[in-house]
Structure formats: C-alpha cells, structure tokens
C-alpha cells in the first residue's frame, strides 16, 4: 500500500509538471491560428497532448520509482517475487484506454463533420498542383492566379487536384492538409479568420524542386478581395506574347524553362522558336508552332536530346485552353532573335 501511494504521488507530480509546461508552451509550438478549422484541430491536439503527458508520466513514474525504491541491496542475491497475472489490472488497462480512444473517436468525428460541412454560398477555388507549381482558378469570376487570395470570414472550398504526380496542399496556419492526386478532385474547406500572408507548401515529396513548391496565400478583407477580383477581370493589356508570359508564370513553366539561355530542368526558351532541335531519337525538327504545341501537350513524344522524359508534367492539356496555347507559342516566339525566313 505504501508503494502504491508512493508511485501515484510520483506520477501525479510528473503529470502536473508536464501539464503546466504544456499549458504555457502549447501555443508556441505551432504557428498562428488563421482559420476557423484550426481551432478544432488545435483543441483536439491539445487534449491529446494532455493524455499523452499522463501516459508519459505513467511509464516514467513507475520506472523512476522502481529504480530508486526497489534497488538491490548490497549482498542481496535472492530472486524477486513471482507473479502469474493480475486480472483486475488487465481488465483495467484494457477498458480504460478503450474508453479514452472511443471518446477521442466520437469527439474527432464530430469535429470532422463540422469542418467538412458545405455551406450554400461557398467560394470555389480550383487548386492545381504540378511539378513544382500551384495554380489557383476562380470559376465564379473566370480568373486564374499564381497566388491564393481569400476573403476573410468567407467559407471557401478548395477543389484540389494535380496534373502530374501526387502533391499535398498544406498551409500550417490553416492546420489542414489535403492530397492533390492526378485524376481526382479532393475538397478542402477553409474559413480564414486572420488577414495576412501565409505560404502554401507541398507536403508530399514530388521530385527535385519539391521543397521549393511554395505559393503565397493572401487573406484579405472582403472589399480588398473584391477590388483584386475587379482588377483581374479587367481586359488584359498588351499583346498575345505578354499574355503568354503570364500563362507561363501561372503554370510554373518558368520553374523548368529559363528565358535567358540557362538550362534549369528543361531546355531554355531563348532562341528556341525557328531553330532546329536535336531530339533524343537522333532526328531533328524545326521548332515551329506545331512542334511547340506538341511539346506542351504530349511532352513524352518528341524528347529533346539530353533531357529527362518524365520531367515535364504530362497533362497540361487539362488546364490550358486553345487561347492559352497560342499565347504561349507567341511568347516563346517573341524570345527568338532568329529570323525564321532566313
Ligand atoms: Cu509537390
């Protein structure tokens, strides 16, 4: 009896110390909470931390108590007592954890229901991951953006997908994470609560520049968001080549193709148009409009000598319109000083 009270005291002391420490530092372990959903996630995580702190104390408490109190006395070579089992104890350590786990399952399912519930006036944003770029489309306004702009306080459903490999959309301040899987659309609902600029990162290792797959997430006041939408909807100024430059940026082409002659993951676009291109199968082809289009839509077909077949996302056809393709060709052509009539 003396030992039981003793060990309970040790466990209680360690648990209490861990709880006090956690209570003081929990908020510093994680970044700012910037969405309604993040409060549910943190509450659940916080509750689990407290249970885990107790489990930690349970193990460490018994261990420390045994090390110090049941230490072998000098000269004592006798065996310890033999226990075959303890039915009461075994029932307890089955039933109590079962109860705790079930409690968390019920609370967790409730929260999950809350944070995934659709609303009637949701803003829809299509999020497309590709190596190594995020692209954001707003079907309600017909606009596309390389940054995710969101109005504060508005529930938004992000329809997340990919055109090449699996990526994962993760903004730590929103706490939620969702895989971007080619051929599938996964919804993620977010209601931003704090104006500010955050960063979406890719949480699924997806190739060479995975760790640089970042995009800004700007949470703005409703009127600032509306002003941004109006500015985007305004007719584009400048010519086709300028529009092409924007599309190249939006779709992450420039992460692999330079316009200054240097080689990144793919060949440079400087002086490409109108030139002869050496292909991996030994043939050559003139980089005309048809070749450029085919290179974008079917990157596996005409592979440039010395480059990787799988490096270029295979499904740009899913996100680029006919107009986008023409603008891209015009842009690439504008980067050529070569006169194709020579
Ligand atoms: Cu990725």
Instruction: Report yes or no on 280 lying in a domain.
Output: yes
Q: Are residues 259 and 193 in the same domain?
A: no
Taking 80 as the threshold, does the pLDDT of residue 234 lie above it?
Answer: no
Cα–ligand 1 centroid distance for 132 (angstroms) = 6
Q: Are residues 107 and 144 in the same domain?
A: no
Find the distance separating the first CA and the last CA of the chain, reported in whole Å.
100
pLDDT (0 to 100) of residue 340? 47
Taking 80 as the threshold, does the pLDDT of residue 68 lie above it?
Answer: yes
**Confidence band (pLDDT; 50, 70, 90) for 341?**
very low
Average pLDDT over residues 254-268: 92
Q: Are residues 92 and 152 in the same domain?
A: no
Instruction: Report yes or no on 273 lying in a domain.
Output: yes
pLDDT tens digits, residue range 134-167?
999 999 998 999 999 999 999 999 999 999 999 9
The rounded Cα 195 to chain-centroid distance in angstroms is 20
Specify the range with the lowest mean pLDDT, choosing from 22-36, 61-75, 192-206, 255-269: 22-36
Q: Are residues 66 and 33 in the same domain?
A: yes
CATH of the domain at 315: 1.10.760.10
Contacts 24+ apart (CB under 8 A), 134-140: 134/169, 134/200, 134/202, 134/213, 134/215, 134/252, 135/250, 135/251, 135/252, 135/319, 136/215, 138/229
Specify the range with the lowest mean pLDDT, choosing from 9-13, 24-28, 189-193: 24-28
221 in Cβ contact with 195 (< 8 Å): yes
Give exposure, 156-181, as e/b (b: 16+ Cβ within 10 Å).
bbbbbbbbbbebbbbbbbbbbebbbb
Cα–ligand 1 centroid distance for 148 (angstroms) = 16
pLDDT tens digits, residue range 42-63?
999 989 988 999 999 999 999 9
Structurally, the chain folds into a number of domains equal to 3
Mean of per-residue pLDDT scores for the chain: 91
pLDDT (0 to 100) of residue 342? 40
Cα–ligand 1 centroid distance for 213 (angstroms) = 6
Cα–ligand 1 centroid distance for 136 (angstroms) = 15
Q: Are residues 10 and 107 in the same domain?
A: yes
Cα–ligand 1 centroid distance for 158 (angstroms) = 16
Residue 206 CB contacts under 8 Å (≥ 6 apart), including other chains: 129, 131, 132, 165, 166, 167, 213
Instruction: Report yes or no on 250 lying in a domain.
Output: yes
Cα–ligand 1 centroid distance for 251 (angstroms) = 14
Q: Are residues 195 and 149 in the same domain?
A: yes
For the entire predicted model, the pTM comes to 0.80
Instruction: Report yes or no on 341 lying in a domain.
Output: no
Q: Which residues is 159 bridged to in the sheet? A: 126, 187
Structural domain containing residue 169 = 123-233
């Amino acid at each position: 009896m003396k030992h039981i009270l003793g060990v309970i005291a040790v466990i209680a002391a360690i648990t209490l110390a861990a709880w006090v420490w956690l209570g003081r530092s929990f908020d510093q372990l994680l970044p700012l909470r910037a969405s309604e959903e993040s409060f549910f996630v943190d509450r659940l995580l916080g509750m689990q931390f407290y249970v885990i702190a107790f489990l930690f104390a349970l193990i460490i408490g018994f261990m420390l108590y045994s090390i110090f109190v049941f230490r072998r006395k000098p000269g004592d070579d006798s065996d310890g007592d033999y226990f075959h089992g303890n039915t009461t104890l075994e029932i307890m350590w089955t039933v109590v954890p079962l109860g705790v786990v079930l409690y968390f399952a019920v609370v967790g399912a409730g929260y999950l229901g809350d944070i995934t519930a659709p609303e009637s006036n949701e803003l829809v944003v299509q999020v497309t991951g590709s190596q190594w770029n995020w692209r954001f489309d707003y079907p309600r306004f017909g606009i596309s953006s390389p940054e995710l702009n969101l109005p504060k306080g508005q529930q938004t459903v992000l329809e997340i997908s990919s055109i090449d490999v699996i990526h994962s959309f993760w903004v730590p301040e929103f706490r939620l994470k969702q895989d971007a899987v080619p051929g599938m659309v996964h919804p993620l609902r977010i209601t931003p609560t704090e104006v500010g600029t955050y960063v979406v990162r890719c949480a699924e290792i997806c190739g060479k520049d995975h760790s640089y797959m970042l995009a800004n997430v700007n949470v703005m006041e409703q009127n600032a968001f509306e002003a941004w939408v109006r500015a985007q909807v305004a007719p584009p100024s400048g010519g086709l080549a300028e529009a092409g430059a924007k599309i190249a940026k939006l779709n992450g082409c420039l992460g692999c193709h330079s316009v200054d002659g240097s080689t990144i993951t793919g060949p440079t676009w400087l002086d490409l148009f109108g030139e002869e291109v050496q292909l991996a199968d030994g043939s050559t082809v003139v980089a005309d409009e048809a070749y450029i289009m085919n290179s974008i839509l079917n990157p596996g077909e005409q592979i440039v000598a010395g480059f990787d077949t799988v490096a270029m996302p295979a499904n740009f056809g899913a996100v680029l319109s006919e107009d986008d393709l023409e603008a891209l060709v015009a842009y690439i052509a504008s980067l050529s000083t070569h006169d194709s009539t020579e």
